[in-house]
Structure 1
Amino acid sequence: MLHTQIRAFDAVAQEGSFSRAAEALGLTQPAVTIQVKALEERYGVKLFERSRRAVKLTEMGERLFRMSRRYSSLEEQMREILTESSELESGQLSLTADGPHIAMGVFARFLARHPNIELSVAMGNTRFVREQLLERRTDLAILPGVERHPQIHAMPLWKHTAVLIVANDHPWASRESVRLAELNDQPMVSREEGSNTRRVAAAAMAKAGVRPRTVLELGSREAVCEAVGAGLGFSIVWELEASASTRFRTLHFRDAKITSSDYVACLKSERLRRSIKAFYAVAASLSNQREAARRSLP
């Protein structure tokens, strides 16, 4: 009974909703509510602050959720050990990424090789993705800046180069490149706090003594591209994100090389799970192929 109650609690905490937890578990919402309520009453604790719109973990709930995530992971590892003589034919993996451009290629290859593994995917900025991973709310993550983290096992996936984007009718639109100094006091559309793109771009401009005028901060790369296309200012994005759009012009930096690397990451305690090892193998294959293609370019 305790196992069932902990499983229901973990699903509600993971999904942030009783209805979504019920859907994930294949149960009715009243059944999940009864299990969580029974757990609270059994031990005389309050695990959630409930409102009409959402549920929020209490301090006790947060402590239990950190443990239930480890419990859930251990349960999955036991299942994989018991089925390790068979093919990787079923299971679930949750993934969180800081952008779709690199991630979707890995997902497509993984599902082609392991079609019966169910993937659930969330997107957010780098800060959000890191928090999801460290709080055990996701099994795998694709994000930058985690290669030296003591709790994280990270493998390089892709190296990005930054470019400048401007509207098609911008005075610079006919140019191929720009110097960093030219950005000084120019209107800029920026990503929000917690974005790796913002952090890396800001560091490069600060090093060059450049201070643009930020006119707008936006919470997604799609919104940034729309704002630039509408003529609100320039922005700095990764080249792969800019390559497919006709809404704006892409310029390279003449006197600076602004780069960042994305990694496939999991917690070190999870790295031996069969499904995670399989995902790493697919990611490594794709990374090697892309690196070979990049080196072959003139």
Structure 2
Amino acid sequence: MDQALLVFITVADKQSFTRAAEELHMTQPAVSQYVQTLERTYGTRLLERGGKRVRLNKAGEIIYHHAKEIVGLYARMSDLVDDLMNQASGTLAIGASYTFGEYVLPGVIARLQAKFPLIRPEIAIGNTRQISEGVAAGDLEIGVVEGEFRHEKLHVEPFADDQMYIAAFADHRLAAKERVRFAELTEEPWIVRESGSGTREATEAMFDRFGRKPRRLMEFGSTQLIKESVEAGLGITLLSRWAIRKEIALGSMVVLDVEGLPVSRRFSVVARDTPFHTRASVVFRELLLETTD
């Protein structure tokens, strides 16, 4: 791997030659020399120097973007070759959408660590769009997303069903009703996830299926915040059974018995569409495929 690229990436990330030198355990003159060599190679300055900080210029942004890809590919190549000789180990960058990441993934990681203690999982939580883009860009090695999903650069494999229910606070006026028509809920305030979320996608699909959309929607970017808001009586919501099982057990929330529900969707594992995967990602995928109720 070109050491100059690694040094340049570190300087850009740290915005400082001094902090980059500390990170790389090098002298500051050595760091400066690597960057100057790279600038001579491309015949242009790559960094704007001002005060104690440096920043990328337009040419630097191009070099930085491709250097990150090159360094990532080199690390991945080394990991794949190492896998041929050793047991599953090393860092595994995992991405998961909020529902799976916050309520299901911890149990999967516990099983992974028990069986493969040399694997070091790094977890990123985001919505379905963010996780898929992270995997496609190579920032994440494997991801778990919600709902119907396709991506030209990714292999998508459904592995588990999820049931979603309309939840309300325990003393909601419809809580004790045996069967609720969806039309009765359109006057209620609804609390929904942001666009790009698999939960939001499922909610919008449900509205379309019933041909009715609530008059008032409140959009929150956190499932936990939605649950606390529902418990406070601010509105109702559609959430995965995984997300609300503790609240239901504690009696702070109830599931409304609504005609035509629950909503079904799938959890899918996503990875880059390539025949080469690290052993760590392979064993993690196998654990995911074992995930059941």
Which category describes the TM-score, using the shorter chain as reference length?
Answer: 0.7 to 0.9
> Secondary structure of 1:119's match?
strand
Amino acid at match of 1:283: L
State the partner residue of 1:112: 114
1:267 aligns with 2:272: yes
Q: C-alpha separation between the residues in 2 aligned to 1:35 and 1:248?
A: 62
For 1:191-230, what aligned pairs fall within 5 Å after superposition?
191-230=193-232
Q: C-alpha separation between the residues in 1 aligned to 2:52 and 2:265?
A: 42
State the partner residue of 1:130: 132
- The alignment's C-alpha RMSD in Å is 3.7
Task: Calculate the TM-score normalised by the size of structure 1.
Answer: 0.78
Amino acid at match of 1:114: F
Q: C-alpha separation between the residues in 2 aligned to 1:96 and 1:134?
A: 11
Amino acid at match of 1:92: T
1:112, CA displacement in angstroms?
Answer: 1.5
State the partner residue of 1:93: 92
Worse-matched range after superposition: 34-43 or 134-143 = 34-43
Q: Quick one: percent identity of the two aligned structures? A: 23
> Secondary structure of 2:173's match?
coil
Higher RCO (C-alpha 8 Å, min separation 6): 2
Q: C-alpha separation between the residues in 2 aligned to 1:175 and 1:168?
A: 12
Task: Calculate the TM-score normalised by the size of structure 2.
Answer: 0.79
Name structure 2 gaps, 5 residues minimum.
none
Name structure 1 gaps, 5 residues minimum.
none
For 1:37-52, what aligned pairs fall within 5 Å after superposition?
37-38=35-36, 41-42=39-40, 43=42, 44-46=44-46
Q: Is the 8 A contact 1:93 1:117 kept in 2?
A: yes
Amino acid at match of 2:81: I
State the partner residue of 1:165: 167
How many residue pairs match? The answer is: 281
State the partner residue of 1:5: 4
Amino acid at match of 1:192: E
Q: C-alpha separation between the residues in 2 aligned to 1:168 and 1:51?
A: 58
For 1:15-34, what aligned pairs fall within 5 Å after superposition?
27=24
State the partner residue of 1:244: 246
Q: C-alpha separation between the residues in 1 aligned to 2:224 and 2:53?
A: 27
Worse-matched range after superposition: 174-183 or 259-268 = 174-183
1:153 to 1:215, Cα distance in 2 relative to 1, 3 A: closer
